[in-house]
Amino acid sequence: MTTVLTSQKSETVVTNSLKNTTSSLDSLSPNQQLLPLTAIVNSNDHLEIGGCDVVDLVSQYGSPLYILDEVSLRTACQQYRDAFSKHYQGQSQVLYASKAWSCLAVCAIVGSEGLGIDVVSAGEILTALRAGVSPSLIYFHGNNKSADELSYSLEFGCTIVVDNWNELQTLDLLAKEQSIAMSLAPRIMLRLTPGIECHTHEYIQTGHIDSKFGFDPNEIEAVFAFVAKSSLNCIGIHAHIGSQIFELQPHQDIGGVMVQWFKLAIEKYGLKFSELNIGGGLGIRYVESDDPPSIEDWVQTVSAGVTDAFIASGLPLPKLLCEPGRSLVGATCVTAYTIGGSKTVPDIRTYITVDGGMSDNPRPITYQSKYRAVVANHMSASLSQTVTIAGKHCESGDILIKDIQLPETNVGDILVVFGTGAYNYSMASNYNRLPKPAAVVVGTGDSSLIIKRETREDLLRQDCLPERLYQSTKV
């Protein structure tokens, strides 16, 4: 048997002798693919992405290595944008939820595709700004923004998505203090908990009532009354119901839930609402059994839900914002590892160890997430063993993939794990003092470094050793 990775929603058939797709790349929804759109098997029987041989990339840049396919990322951005133009009659703006992967190159690519950026810290604001994104397209989220972060955001004129009372009051004070320096009142939106539940991992559900995020709908009138008297320019409301969602119904329902609050704000409190942000959450296909809707189907569904709800309530269509993270960047990247040793526990399992693990991909240990992988230097080799891919950390739970079918492997083979673009680099750590991997962007046969590999010296950059402690080691 050989590895057969099929993509149900397209004609792409990726086998261990990975056939290139016959359909045109831009008709495939990247979030429904296991591999980046440009993945093929080349004449050396190696995996190739963006015209670059993955084995050569590892020789050049080392491993572990994040490999980002520019075509896949641009295609995902364009599909979101085009789907809104096709299915929504009002204005729209797609924001990239940069918590999925905040770095200069990713922000620059999505920015150049006309997307704005959703940020959750001053660090993510700085990254988006340095990547050249206009502050008018930066929306600042978070459930505990510090006064310092709020001032920083106000300085550039980003829109702040206010999460709670404390923040609202702090912001109003800051706005009053800074009003001389600022020509315009701060633009804010209000995040509400819509009470919509969806089927995803408990840690990544956010829209149900028992959530740390957003204002409770029961206090919404008091919030609107406060905002109406404040120095803030409140332009609308926001909700985000969760992540890695495959059902369309919860996103279809958002319009109907939000419109009632939109109407109340305008008609009872005289607020000048014009924007509705329905968050992100569309899932991706990590393993064959995952079956997310396409980007276009998702956009069509939310557009129809919002349009129907606003028409029924007699309000003009709002500017519709959404903020996908995972479905933009998740399937555009793979991680290449070098295989080290193996260990067979008779009648139980064989462990194959790679040179990374929970520090570059904490999702399996955190959410029991499943991943798919291939041996990139023997793509057509027969699948002959069921193995467990273990990371190199001192932790028994550091398992990247349990019970995967692979060909025979040798020390030095290159294992490539798919779907690592979202919440991998951004959640990476230096556990066990492992340096964070490098990342490259590939396209049309070229590769460029977008994140340098950390060095051992980098690991000590923030350490301080008071002299008396150093002396004491010499006693």
Beta-sheet pairing, 438-443 with 446-451: antiparallel
Compute the least distance from the CB of residue 111 to ligand LLP, in Å.
17
Interaction of residue 323 with ligand LLP, rule CB under 6 A: yes
Among 285, 326, 370, 372, the residue binding ligand LLP under the rule CB under 6 A is: 326
Among 57, 97, 234, 334, the residue binding ligand LLP under the rule CB under 6 A is: 97
Which region, judged by CB under 6 A, interacts with ligand LLP, from 77-85, 238-246, 296-304, 375-383? 238-246
Among 118, 253, 360, 413, the residue binding ligand LLP under the rule CB under 6 A is: 118
**Touching ligand LLP, residues 335-364 (CB under 6 A):** 363
Question: Running DSSP on this structure, what letter comes out for residue 382?
Answer: B
Tokens standing for 380? 């057509």
The closest alpha carbon to 379, from 23, 40, 58, 34, belongs to 40
- Between 30 and 279, name the residue whose CB sits nearer to ligand LLP: 279
The closest alpha carbon to 330, from 286, 375, 377, belongs to 286
394 is catalytic: yes
Compute the least distance from the CB of residue 76 to ligand LLP, in Å.
11
Compute the least distance from the CB of residue 201 to ligand LLP, in Å.
7
- Between 244 and 338, name the residue whose CB sits nearer to ligand LLP: 244
In 18-36, which positions are buried (b, 16+ CB within 10 angstroms) versus exposed (e)?
Answer: beebeeebeebbbbbbbbb
Among 30, 186, 279, 421, the residue binding ligand LLP under the rule CB under 6 A is: 279
Compute the least distance from the CB of residue 410 to ligand LLP, in Å.
32
**Touching ligand LLP, residues 373-402 (CB under 6 A):** none
> Which DSSP string corresponds to 16-57?
TT-PPPSS-GGGS-GGG-SS-TT-EE-TTS-EEETTEEHHHH
Which region, judged by CB under 6 A, interacts with ligand LLP, from 34-42, 145-153, 237-245, 351-359? 237-245
Tokens standing for 155? 């300085």
Compute the least distance from the CB of residue 425 to ligand LLP, in Å.
11
Please identify which residue in the block is written with the tokens 């276009």: 296
Alpha carbon distance 338, 61 (integer Å): 12
Alpha carbon distance 363, 361 (integer Å): 6
Tokens standing for 315? 């309000």
The residues annotated with a catalytic role in the active site are 394
Contact residues toward ligand LLP (CB under 6 A) are: 97, 99-100, 118, 141, 204, 206, 240, 243-244, 279-282, 323-327, 363, 367, 422-423
